[in-house]
Structure 1
Amino acid sequence: MTDITDPNFIMKEENINKASKALKAMGHPLRLKILCVIGEKELPVMDIVNKVGTTQSNISQHIDILREKEIITSRRDGSRILCKVRDHNILQLMEAMQQTFCTIEQ
C-alpha cells in the first residue's frame, strides 16, 4: 500500500477530481447499497429494486445519478435495463470500505 505521507506520492489533479466525484456519488446510503447489490454483476433494475427494498422510481433516480457520475453503465436488453459498475477501481474502493467498516466481530 502506498504511504500518502510519502513525498514521492503525488496524486494528479485529474485523479483527485475523479476520486472526489466518485466519493460524492457513493456518499448517499441508498446509492452505496445499490453498488453493493450490483457488485461485479450486471443486474436488471428490478432485481436491484427487490434486493434494495425501495420503489422502482427511487432506484431509477439514484441509478441515473450514478450513471451521470460515470459510476455505473446501463444497457437495454429487450424490456429490461441492465446495470453494472463501470470502473473496476470502484469495486476495489468498495472492497476496501467493506474491509474497513464491515468486519465481522468475534
Structure 2
Amino acid sequence: MFAILLSAVNTLLAFLVRGVLIKFVVFTALYFIVSELVSAMVSLLPNGSSLTSAFTGISSATWYFLDLFAASQGIPLIIAALVTRFIIRRIPVIG
C-alpha cells in the first residue's frame, strides 16, 4: 500500500515539475522578453504629429465616407491587429 501511495506522489510531483513549473518559467520569461522588446520598439517609432498636415488635403466628401464607415475606429484596430500578428509570429515557440 505504501508503494502505491509513493508512486502516486512521485507521479504527481513529476507532473508538477515537468508540466507546470517549466511552462510557467518559460512563458514568464517570454512575457518579460516580449514586453521589453515592445517598449524598446515604441521608442523607435516615428512621431505622428506630421499626420495632421497630411490629413488637411482630404476633401469634405472623402471625410463624409470615412466617418460613415467609422474609419477612425477601424483603422487603429486593423493596425493593432497587424502589429500583434507580427509580434506573435516572431516568438520562437509560438510562431
TM-score in same-fold range (> 0.5): no
- Greater helix percent: which structure? 2
Q: Which of 1 and 2 has higher RCO (CA within 8 Å, sep 6+)?
A: 1
- When the two structures are superposed, what TM-score results if normalisation uses the length of structure 1? 0.22
If you compute each CA radius of gyration, which structure gives the higher value, 1 or 2? Answer: 2
- Greater strand percent: which structure? 1
